[in-house]
Amino acid sequence: MIIKDLAVALSGLIGLGIIAIGVRFLLAPPTAAGYGVAITEEIGEAGAYLSAKGMRDIVSGLVVFLLIAIAGHRVLGWWMLVVTLIPIGDAVVVLRSGGSKATAYGVHVATAVVMAVIGILLLV
């Protein structure tokens, strides 16, 4: 049970992290937008997109806490495994856009691996 409790706590940290990223997209879009891909144009027109992304990140983080509060370990574990596709997709976007390999692998793929491990720990 200690492993599952640790996995739940780590899920909470992931939730807090993604909420913080979302808040950053709302408060400082130009800074947040450089998640491994060079910013080649003014943020102006992209501001609405970045704000929408920020809100989606915040809600995704809140879902973690909703699942911790009302669902069991299995539901949270499956959710963590499914949303592992988000940082994998981010890594693909960074790589396809000629962005930093270090960021693609060191941030996005590493995040996906951590999330997958947490998901597996919640399911076993």
Q: What's the CA gap between 102 and 94, in Å, rounded? A: 10
Residues 76, 68 contacting (CB under 8 angstroms): yes
Q: Are 46 and 18 in contact (CB under 8 A)?
A: no
Three-state DSSP class for residue 34 = coil
Tokens of 113: 């691996």
* Planar angle of CA 114, 21, 16, nearest 5 degrees: 60
pLDDT tens digits, one per residue of 80-124? 999 999 999 989 988 998 888 998 999 999 999 999 999 999 999
Question: pLDDT for 16-52, tens place per residue?
Answer: 999 999 998 888 877 766 666 666 555 566 667 778 8
For residue 13, pLDDT over 60 is answered with yes
SS3 84: coil
What crossing angle do the helices spanning 73-83 and 85-96 adopt, rounded to 10°? Answer: 10
User: Which residue has better confidence, 13 or 40?
Assistant: 13
Parse the chain into domains and list their residue ranges.
Answer: 2-123
